[in-house]
Amino acid sequence: MEIWRFCDGKAGHERQTAGLIAALGKHRILNVRKIPVGNATAAWWQWLCASWPLPAAGLPPAFLVGAGRACQWPLIAARRSHGGRTIYCMKPALPTSAFDLCLVPQHDDARKGLHVEPTFGVLNDVQPGPRDPAHTTLILVGGPSRHYAWNDAMILAQVANIVARAEGPCTITDSRRTPTSTREALAKLATPPNVSFHTCLETPTGWLTKALAGGHQAWVTTDSVSMIFEALTAGLGVGLIELPDRRNARINRLTASLVQHGQVTAYQAWQQGEPLNALIPPLNEAARCADLILARWPS
């Protein structure tokens, strides 16, 4: 099966398409052609003129897969020239009817329809793996957002308590949004051999995916929705490091709903004795979406 994977160079977007394509690959032998996207205006003209160039030695695609705004016009331009089904892994800026299928997270107000399949969280390429026998606790720290008030002291107090009560070693990591003050304070909490700090600025590609696959449980700051769903997909029990709400928006309601339905555990509830229970079976939206795609277009 020939698949054209449109890539905008952004890691979060590319992990979404990587997860879906890996799930499709469990059912079909795939030939995946990675296509970097370029100028959106040029792609618009290529769509208008049906003139998208066929890649060197390329076959017409069965599916054209992309995520990120820069991929939208290239996807539909390539389909108009060479056929295939377009799968867009986000809420598009263009009308959803411009694509054959849009995989849109529920928290982006997705409504199921002919061209839309709501997903529980954002797709990713995480898979459960052999568990670390040391029962490692992962602590994943995000950064300031429109939805939560960032508070170094509040975060560090929670992280210190989690580390003190952990059954095994703790691995702390940050994100590109993490303020320098928070990053430096987290590094000071690392006390070998039981507590380590790994900044995302230095870890190799795929480090977090591998760490999640082998972890025992994960704590994630409430602003980091993608990392929450990655930890759930890895099959870990997930706790939320709490921050004050800045607004009553869909992201805030999403994390509150996850707590309410027992899919994650709030820090305060854990303080009172509630455990971090993993979802059984683990979340696997990429596999569910791959099954849906192949059921709709089996040939």
β 101-105/2-7 pair status: unpaired
Angle in degrees, 0-180, between the axes of helices 72-82 and 40-49, rounded to the nearest 10: 20
Q: Mean per-residue pLDDT for 18-47?
A: 86
| 120 and 198 in a common domain | no
- Report the mean per-residue pLDDT for the chain: 92
pLDDT at 268: 97
First to last CA, the chain: 9
* Residue 255 · residue 261 · CB < 8 Å: no
pLDDT at 114: 95
Q: What is the CATH number of the domain that holds 220?
A: 3.40.50.850
| 197 and 250 in a common domain | yes
* Residue 140 · residue 247 · CB < 8 Å: no
What is the pLDDT confidence band of residue 175, given thresholds at 50, 70 and 90?
Answer: very high
Least confident piece of the model among 27-36, 42-51, 139-148, 190-199: 42-51
pLDDT at 56: 60
| 96 and 192 in a common domain | no
Q: State the Cα–Cα distance between residues 230 and 225, nearest whole angstrom.
A: 9
Residue scoring higher pLDDT (50 or 147): 147
Q: What is the pLDDT of residues 233-274, one digit of tens each?
A: 999 999 999 999 998 888 888 999 999 999 999 999 999 999
Residue 277, in any domain of the structure: no
pTM, two decimals, is 0.90
| 85 and 24 in a common domain | yes
Tell me the CB-side half-sphere exposure of residue 85, using CA atoms within 13 A: 15
pLDDT at 182 over 80: yes
Residue 132, in any domain of the structure: no
Q: Mean per-residue pLDDT for 201-222?
A: 94
Residue 90, in any domain of the structure: yes
| 191 and 93 in a common domain | no
| 144 and 92 in a common domain | no
What is the pLDDT confidence band of residue 123, given thresholds at 50, 70 and 90?
Answer: very high
Q: Which residue has the tokens 């009817």?
A: 97
* Residue range of the domain that includes 267: 137-271
Q: State the Cα–Cα distance between residues 124 and 32, nearest whole angstrom.
A: 17
| 224 and 98 in a common domain | no
Residue 146, in any domain of the structure: yes
How many degrees, rounded to 5, is the angle at CA 162 between CA 160 and CA 166? 120
The number of folded domains in the chain is 2
pLDDT at 292 over 80: yes
